Amino acid sequence: MIRVERDPAWWTDIASHPAVIGTLNGVAPATVGALAARADIMPLASEHGGFMFVRQDAFGFVCELHTLFTPEGWGREVAAAAKQAFNAVFLLNYQAVITREVRAT
């Protein structure tokens, strides 16, 4: 179910979804898509979205999690994909995953 997805067009399509674009705080969907090609980011995807794990330290022990799913993937798909994604990043020797919560306005 989970896969490495480095195609910027795929991520741009997810970020362009009407239910998702408003969560980008004005960042262009193509900018989000371009992140998938960066060497310091592990972009793991399922059918309707995925996760970007951004390396935070020189040793590769800490990464920051970003989640991006269209409504079709909300719920069970996200839960199943998250289990697989976390297994994958911990097998890559990450020791900690951090994330930030956006405060609603």
Per-residue pLDDT of the chain (105 residues; tens, 9 = 90+): 899 999 999 999 999 999 999 989 899 999 999 999 999 999 999 999 999 999 999 999 999 999 999 999 999 999 999 999 999 999 999 999 999 876 665
SS3 4: strand
- pLDDT for the residue numbered 1: 84
- pLDDT for the residue numbered 5: 98
> Per-residue DSSP letters for 7-67?
-HHHHHHHHHSHHHHGGGTT--HHHHHHHTT-TTEEEEEETTEEEEEEE-STTS-EEEEEE
- pLDDT for the residue numbered 100: 83
